[in-house]
Structure 1
Amino acid sequence: MSCFPLSILKTFHIHRPSKSKNKVEDRISELPDDVLAMILNKLVTEDVIKTSVLSKRWKNVWTKVPYLVFDMQNAIVTNMENLTDHSHRVAKEITKVINNHDDHLVGCTIKHEYHQCHNGVLETWIRLLTLQKHTRILSLSNLHVHGRGFNQLYLPPNIFSHPYLSSLFLCLYELKTAYAFNRCYNLMILKLEKISIEVDVLNTIIASCPSLKVLVLDVMWDNGRACLKIRNNNLKLLHVACSNVDGIEVYAPLLDIFSIDYRFDGKCDIVFNAPRLLFTIKYGSINKGRFKTMTYNISCKAREIENLGDKFLVGRDANFFQQHKYLAVSVDVMNWKEVEMLRNVLAAWNGTMLGLFILFKVKNVSKEEGESSIGGTQEKNWEENLFPNADFRVEAVWMYQFRGTNNKQFALASRFITQGTVTKKMMFMTHSVTEKVKLDIEAAVAELKKLPKGNENLDIECL
C-alpha cells in the first residue's frame, strides 16, 4: 500500500468565500463515506483504524474500507510481554477489528503466528470473514516455518465453500486432509504456496474445486512418489512447482497459460492435454534437469471478456513467473489487444530472459467479432504504444510462422531489433513452409538486417 500521510486528514483545509478572511473549512471531511473509504484504502489497516480518533465524523469511516491487511510480525511487543502472550493479544485485536467492521469486504490478508493454527482462532477468523463479511478474496499466511505438526491447519469440512469466497491464498501450512475444501464450487482462484501435503490429498482438493480458472501450486510432498492429477474444464492458468512425483497428468481444454518449475530426475512423466496451447514442449523422463518455462497462448476473443488468467499473470500475486527464464508465446499480431497483453507480460518480467519463442497465429477460420480487426484506433496504438522505451531484455528470440509479407509481424520484429530488446540473436524459422513463403521470409530478414541495431553484436538469421 502507498504511504498516505495521516496528517493530511487532520490538517487539509481550503479557503471558502466568506466574510472572514481567516475562516477555513475542513473540506475533506465533507466527502461522502464511500469516497473517504477509497482514500483510506491506500493506508495500512493499523493507520486506517487510527483515523477514528480524528473527530466524530471519522469515528466509523474506517469500517467501510473494502480491504483489511493484518501482519502480526509488525505488531509492537509491549514491555514484559512474552511471544506467546503477544501472539494471543494481537490475535484478539484482529478479531475485534473484524467484528467491528461494518461492511462486506472485497479482500482480507492475515499473516499470523503458528499459535492460531491450533487454538481455533484461525477458524474463527475464516468464519467471520466468509459468513459475516462475505469476503471475496482471502489470503492466509503462516509467518514462520516450525517443526512438523506446528503448521497444520485444523479446519472443519466445507469451511472454504462459502458462495461469496472466490479467491483463496494459503502460504506455509501443512494440509493433512482435504475436508476444508469439500464442495468448493465457489473458488475461481486457488494459490497454495510452500504447502506440505500428500499428493492424493492435493488431488482431492483440486477435484473438489471444479470452477477454478487459476491454480498455482508450490508444494512439497509429505509422502513418497505418486501421480499429481489435474483435471478441470474451466482452468485458464496453471502453475506447478514441485518435485519427486511419478507423473503429472493435466487435462484442461481451456488452459491458456502453463508454467512449470520442476527438476526432472528421469522418473517423472507428464501427460498433457491442453489443446489451446499451440506450443508443444516435451517434458518427461527423456529430459533431465531443471525446467522453469512458461507456455502462454494469448487469447482475447469477444466471448472471453474477463481474461482472468491474463489479469492474474501481470498482477502482484503472480510473482512465480518472473523467476522463469524461457517463455513460449502464441499471439495474433492483427489483434492489438493481444499485442498489448504480450507487452504487459514482458514489461512485468524480472531480469533478462534467456529465450523467447514467438508463434504467430495463422487464422484459417472466420474471425469472431472484435477478435482480429485492425481499425484506426488499433493502427494508432501500433504506431505509438508498441514497446515504447522497452526495458525488457532477452538474449535470444525464435519466431515461428513468421510471414515476410505481414506488416505487423515485421513491425514487431523491427522494434525488438532497433530498441535493443534482443541482445544476442534473433532467428526466423523456415522449416515446413513452401518455397515462396521461404523466399518472402528471407527477403524480410534481409530488410531487418539493414535496420539500426540497438545491440551491434545482434545476430539475425533464418533457420
Structure 2
Amino acid sequence: MSLFPLSLLESSQVLPHPPKPMNASLSSDARGKRIHIDADQINNLPDDVLVKILSTLTTEDAIKTGVLSKRWKSLWKQVPYIHLDMLVDLTKDEPLDEEAVTKVINNHDGHLEACSINHYAQLCKDPNNVLKTWIQLLVQEKETKALSLSNCHGDSTRSNQLLLSQDMFSHPKLEILFLYRYDFKTAEAFNNCHNLKILKLETIDAEVDVFNQVLASCPSLKVLVLDDVMWLNRNACLKIDNKKLKLLHVSSNYVDCIEVSAPRLRIFSSYCLRLGVESTVATNSPKFLLNNGEIDFKRFNMHYNISNQAKEKESIGHEFVVSRAANYLKRIRTLVVFVDVTNSKEVELLRQLLSAWDRTLIELHILFLGDYLSKEEGESSTQNKMWEEGKVFPNAEFRVESVWLYNFCPWNKAQFALASRFITQGTVTKKMSIMTSLVPANKKLDKEAAVAKLMKLPKGNESLLIRSF
C-alpha cells in the first residue's frame, strides 16, 4: 500500500507518515510508569504550541482531545493535516462510516496542507460519489496541497473504477497527488492539471492511451512515480514528454516501449520491467548521463546524476528519494550514481542517498566525474578536511554486496578515501571492482601502488574480494 509523505514544497522537506500511537514505542516498564503533568501548565500554553503537540498524534487521537474542554474542542481542527484510516474488520461485514469521514473534513478549520484517506471501496454504497464528495471538499473548499487516496482490498471490478468529473484535480493549490489501487477508464479528472508537481500512481490499471493523456495533462510535474502500473494493451508505447521532470520511476509487469523526453531529468528508476525482445526504452535527456549508452536499463534499477542535481537550487527529486516516508527505495536493489567526490555538496547528497536504504543493496556503481587524470596531487585542504575520520560516510547501517568504481584515479585523495571507508567499515560485503584502465601508462606504478594499498587495509568483511580492471 502506498505510504504518503505529507510534503511542504516550500521547504522541500518530506514530513513523516502520520505518527503511530505513542505507547507503541514504549517498553512494558515505561508503560507502567505514570508521569504526572500539571494540567494548568499545559492549558497555559498558546494555541500554536498545543497544535504542534496534537500534530504528533494520530488524527483519531487528536479529535478525542476535544472532550477535555471547550478550548480543546476546536484545537484539533487547526492541525495542518488529517489522516483517516477506515480499515474495518471484514469478518463483521460492517459498512464504512462515510458520513463520519465527511464530517471530519467539514469540521476542520481553514485550509489543509495534506490529507490521506485509506478506504474500502467495495463496502461503499456508491464509491465514486463518495470519492467525488471527499475530493471536492478537500480540493475545492479546503484547498488541500497534498492528497492521498488509497483503495484497500479492491475486487478488480466496479469498486476499483475511478470515474470522476472533468478537471477534478486541477485546483491551483493541489500540488501533490497519490492514488493507490484504482482502474482509470478516462483521463478527464486530470484535465488542465498544470498545478501538480508530484504525482504517484500505484497499482493502477488503464490503457496506455489513458496514461499518456494523464501525463500530457500534467506538464508541471517534477516527480512522477508509476509504480506497479498495468496497461492492458500490448504493443503500445508509454510517452513521457516533460520539460520540468526531475525524477521518473516506472515499474510494470510488461513494457513494450517507453519514450522519455525530459531534458532536466536527474533520477530515473525502474523495477521488474519485463521488456520484450523488440522492446525499447528511449530517453532524450542530455543532462542525464548514460555513459554513452553503455548502461543497461534492464539491469540497473536506478540511475542518479548527483553532479547535475548539486548544481540546482531545488532538490525536490532528491528529497523525495531520501524520504523513507515516500517508500521510494523499497524495491530498488541496484544503483548507478555520477558524482564528483571532491565536491562537498555532491558528497553530502551521496551520503544522504546511501543512508536512506534500510536493506542491503545488491550493486552500487559509482562513476567518478571531474578532470582528475590531468591533475597532480591537486586537492585543497578543504577537500581533505571533508574526508577526515567521521566527517563523511560514518559506519552506518548501509550495506552493499558489490561495488564498482569507474574512472578511479589513484592520486585522488577523495576517491581513495571513499574506497577505504567502504572496505574498512564493512560497507561492501562481497566484492569491490576498481576501474583504472584510463590511468596513463606513465602512471602505472601509481595505479598499482594505490590498489595494493587498498587491498592491505583491514577489512570489515574478511571475505571481501578486491580487484582492478
Report the TM range for the smaller structure's normalisation. 0.7 to 0.9
SS in 1 for 2:467: strand
Of 175, 192, 195, the residue aligned with 2:204 is 195
Of 413, 416, 420, the residue aligned with 1:410 is 416
Answer yes or no: is the 8 Å Cα contact 1:418–1:453 preserved in 2. Answer: yes
2:410 and 2:253 map into 1 onto residues whose CA distance is 43
One-letter amino acid of the counterpart of residue 327, structure 1: L
Of 79, 88, 100, the residue aligned with 1:65 is 79
Alignment of 1:362-373 (within 5 A): 362=370
Further displaced range: 148-157 or 207-216: 148-157
Give the C-alpha shift of residue 334 in structure 1: 1.7
Specify the alignment match of 1:251 in structure 2. 261
Call closer, same or farther: CA 1:145–1:393 in 2, change over 3 Å: same
Call closer, same or farther: CA 1:133–1:303 in 2, change over 3 Å: farther
Specify the alignment match of 2:319 in structure 1. 311
One-letter amino acid of the counterpart of residue 387, structure 1: F
Further displaced range: 64-73 or 389-398: 389-398
Query: Over residues 9-38 of structure 1, what are the superposed CA-to-partner deviations in whole Å (9 max), with x where a residue is unaligned?
Result: x98534xxxxxxxxxx62112222221111
1:355 and 1:62 map into 2 onto residues whose CA distance is 46
1:423 and 1:303 map into 2 onto residues whose CA distance is 32
1:377 and 1:27 map into 2 onto residues whose CA distance is 50
2:430 and 2:78 map into 1 onto residues whose CA distance is 53
Call closer, same or farther: CA 1:420–1:191 in 2, change over 3 Å: same
Alignment of 1:53-202 (within 5 A): 53-74=67-88, 82-83=93-94, 86-87=95-96, 90-115=97-122, 116=124, 118-202=127-211
1:430 and 1:381 map into 2 onto residues whose CA distance is 22
1:105 and 1:120 map into 2 onto residues whose CA distance is 22
Answer yes or no: is the 8 Å Cα contact 2:85–2:119 preserved in 1. Answer: yes
Specify the alignment match of 1:264 in structure 2. 275
1:4 and 1:351 map into 2 onto residues whose CA distance is 26
Give the C-alpha shift of residue 446 in structure 1: 1.6
5+ residue gaps in structure 1? 15-24, 365-372
Specify the alignment match of 1:47 in structure 2. 61
One-letter amino acid of the counterpart of residue 110, structure 1: I
SS in 1 for 2:224: strand
Query: Over residues 274-325 of structure 1, what are the superposed CA-to-partner deviations in whole Å (9 max), with x where a residue is unaligned?
Result: 22232448699xx89x746111111476762231111000113442433122
Of 333, 336, 354, the residue aligned with 1:346 is 354
Give the C-alpha shift of residue 147 in structure 1: 3.1
Relative contact order: is structure 1 or structure 2 higher (C-alpha 8 Å, sep ≥ 6)?
2
Of 214, 233, 236, the residue aligned with 1:223 is 233
Further displaced range: 55-64 or 238-247: 238-247
Give the C-alpha shift of residue 442 in structure 1: 2.6
Further displaced range: 59-68 or 437-446: 437-446
Give the C-alpha shift of residue 211 in structure 1: 0.7
SS in 2 for 1:73: coil
Specify the alignment match of 2:42 in structure 1. 28
Call closer, same or farther: CA 1:324–1:292 in 2, change over 3 Å: farther
One-letter amino acid of the counterpart of residue 297, structure 1: N
Query: Over residues 376-421 of structure 1, what are the superposed CA-to-partner deviations in whole Å (9 max), with x where a residue is unaligned?
Result: 5993575323222222221211111211111111111100000011
Specify the alignment match of 2:37 in structure 1. 13
One-letter amino acid of the counterpart of residue 168, structure 1: L
Further displaced range: 383-392 or 221-230: 383-392
2:51 and 2:425 map into 1 onto residues whose CA distance is 43
Query: Over residues 155-212 of structure 1, what are the superposed CA-to-partner deviations in whole Å (9 max), with x where a residue is unaligned?
Result: 0111101111110000000001111111111100000000001101101111111111
Identity of aligned residues (%): 51
Answer yes or no: is the 8 Å Cα contact 2:121–2:151 preserved in 1. Answer: yes
Question: What is the number of residues matched between the two proteins?
Answer: 433
Call closer, same or farther: CA 1:457–1:63 in 2, change over 3 Å: same
Answer yes or no: is the 8 Å Cα contact 2:407–2:438 preserved in 1. Answer: no
1:396 and 1:5 map into 2 onto residues whose CA distance is 40
